[in-house]
Chain A
Amino acid sequence: MFGIPDPAIWVGYLLALGFTLACLVYGLLNWNNGVEGEQDGS
Chain B
Amino acid sequence: MAVDTGLFVAMTLVYLVLIIGLGYLGYRRTKEDDDYMVAGRKIHPVVLALSYGATFISTSAIIGFGGVAAQLGMGMIWLTVLNIGLGIFIAFVFFGKRTRRIGHKLRAVTFPDLMGKCYGSSFMQYAAGLVIVVGMPLYTAAILIGGAQFITSTLQIPYTTALIAFAAIVALYVVLGGLIAVMYTDALQGGIMLVGMTILLVLTYIQLGGVIEAHTALAGMSNLVPDALVAGGMTGWASMPAPGSSIWLTMVTTLVLGVGIGVLAQPQLVVRFMTVKDSRALNRAVLVGGPFILMMTGVAFTVGALTNVYFYQTDGLIALAAATDGNVDTIIPNFINASMPDLFIVIFMLALLAAAMSTLSSLFHVMGTSLGFDVVRRAGTGKATMRPIRIATVVMIVISVILAFVMPGSIIARATAMFMGLCASAFLPAYAHAMYSSRPSLRAAKMSLVTGTVAWFAWTAFVHVKESAALGLSNLLFGVPAVLSAPWQDVDPLVIALPLSTAALLVGCVLDRHEVAADSEESAGAA
Contact = CB atoms under 8 A, between A and B. Distances in A.
Contacts of A4: 74, 215, 219, 238
Contacts of A8: 75, 239-240
Interface string A6-42: 1011001101110110111011101111111010111
Contacts of A40: 97-98, 101, 279
A23 B89 contact: yes
Nearest to B294: A20
Interface string B424-441: 000000000000000000
B78 interface: yes
A36 B315 CA distance: 59
B294 A27 contact: no
Given A3-B211, A20-B291, A42-B97, A34 B88 contact: no
A41 B214 CA distance: 44
B282 interface: yes
Contact of B97 (A19, A22, A32, A34): A34
B321 interface: no
Best-surrounded residue of A9, A22, A32 (most CB of chain B within 10 A):
A9
A31 B94 contact: no
B93 interface: yes
B75 A27 contact: no
B81 A34 contact: no
Contacts of B97: 34, 40-42
A2 B287 CA distance: 26
A26 B215 contact: no
A38 B276 CA distance: 15
A19 B286 CA distance: 11
B139 to A, nearest CB: 25
Given A15-B85, A34-B280, A34-B283, A9 B77 contact: yes
Contacts of A12: 74-75, 77-78, 80-81
Interface string B214-228: 111001000000000
B290 interface: yes
Given A23-B287, A27-B284, A16 B298 contact: yes
B342 interface: no
Nearest to A30: B283
Given A2-B212, A36-B278, A28 B290 contact: no
A33 B282 CA distance: 10
B44 interface: no
B289 interface: yes
Contact of B80 (A6, A16, A24, A42): A16
B213 interface: yes
A7 B37 CA distance: 46
B269 interface: no
26 contacts: A3-B211, A4-B215, A6-B239, A8-B75, A9-B75, A9-B239, A12-B75, A12-B81, A15-B85, A16-B77, A16-B84, A19-B84, A19-B88, A22-B89, A22-B290, A23-B286, A23-B289, A23-B290, A27-B284, A27-B288, A31-B283, A33-B279, A34-B278, A35-B278, A35-B280, A40-B101
Interface of B: 74-75, 77-78, 80-81, 84-85, 88-89, 93-94, 97-98, 101, 211-216, 219, 236, 238-240, 277-291, 293-294, 298
